[in-house]
Structure 1
Amino acid sequence: MRSSAIASAAAAVLALEGLALLMFAVIDLVGLGAGEAASLSTAIALIVLTLIGAAALFAFAAGTRRGRTWARSGGVVLQVLAIAIALASLTVPPVPWPFVLGVGIPGVVGFVLLIASTRIEARRERKADAGDAGAGDRPVES
């Protein structure tokens, strides 16, 4: 099945977010190697969890590109989480605006694109079902 331009854009946002998480994991890994970690086990756990999140985002991007519902729903959950984190960071004095905007804007854009992609896919399925129903009304000759 061919994906829509909106699904491709949603997949691109998810992939870019995955790339950003991957870069954070590399930065944390470099910091760990430089001895900047207060707790080795905590630093390793954070790096592993960040890599798992990046892998999930890449999987959701690939699935969204292919029109898979599990990928869109997983992507929506992560976008809502990103928006919640961005909004929660508004309570930290002083407000870390680069973080708020860097996490919040892609979260909102990804959320909107994923919802739009879902609606387009549902519309396509309804049209396909309507076309199949019309073909089944004809009598079969034997």
Structure 2
Amino acid sequence: MNAPGLARAAAAVLALEGIALVVIALIETFGLGSGDAANLATALALIVLTVIGAAALIAFAVGTLRGLSWARSGGVVLQVLAVALALAALTLQPAPWLFVVAVGAPGILGFVLLISSARREVEPNEPSPDGE
């Protein structure tokens, strides 16, 4: 797995986002155990969906390290969703700025790194001195 620097950075962002979702799922699980949930079925569904999202982000991180295009594509989709979620949070009053920055900034960074990594991979090689 000798990935270029941009791919490694993009994979790191995806992996950190995946780890953050695992932490959120654990917090929700402990909250469920302490009786904080108003509806058990809804709380369990949210935890399961959070774990699925975390697994997807971690799989995309591994795939990005390996240079797989499906992993970059999936990562780009999730980064766009993260930015959309952050922008949608701005409609709340008062605006949850910590949430907006914590979700939006990694989303933008991950998006830029994934697109840059993909563009770098498909750039044609420099022409050789003998014109071939």
Q: Deviations over 1:36-86 (max 9, x none)?
A: 000101000000000000000000000001110000000000000000000
Q: Secondary structure at the match of 1:14?
A: helix
The count of corresponding residues between Structure 1 and Structure 2 is 129
> Structure 1 residue 53 and structure 2 residue 53: aligned?
yes
Q: CA deviation at 1:2?
A: 2.6
Partner residue in 1 for 2:88: 88
Structure 2 length normalisation: TM-score?
0.94
Secondary structure at 1:36's aligned position in 2?
coil
Alignment of 1:109-120 (within 5 A): 109-120=109-120
Q: What displacement does 1:3 show?
A: 1.1
- Alpha-carbon distance, 1:127 to partner: 2.9
**Residue 21 of structure 1: how far off its partner (Å):** 0.4
Are 2:50 and 1:33 equivalent residues in the alignment? no
Residue aligning to 1:139: none
What residue in structure 2 maps to residue 108 of structure 1? Answer: 108
Question: Over alpha carbons, which structure has the higher Rg?
Answer: 1
User: CA–CA distance in 1 between the matches of 2:36 and 2:97?
Assistant: 25
- Equivalent residue, structure 1, for 2:125: 127
More helix by share: 1
Give the match for residue 24 of structure 1. 24
How far apart are the structure 2 equivalents of 1:100 and 1:93?
Answer: 13
Deviating beyond 4 angstroms after TM superposition, the runs of 4 or more aligned structure 1 residues are none
Segments of structure 2 that go 5 or more residues without pairing to the other structure are none
Q: Percent identity?
A: 63
1:14 and 1:122 mapped to 2: Cα distance? 21
Unaligned runs of 5+ in 1: 135-142
Instruction: For residue 67 of structure 2, give the secondary structure of its aligned residue in structure 1.
Output: coil
Q: In the aligned structure 2, how far is the partner of 1:108 from the partner of 1:45?
A: 28
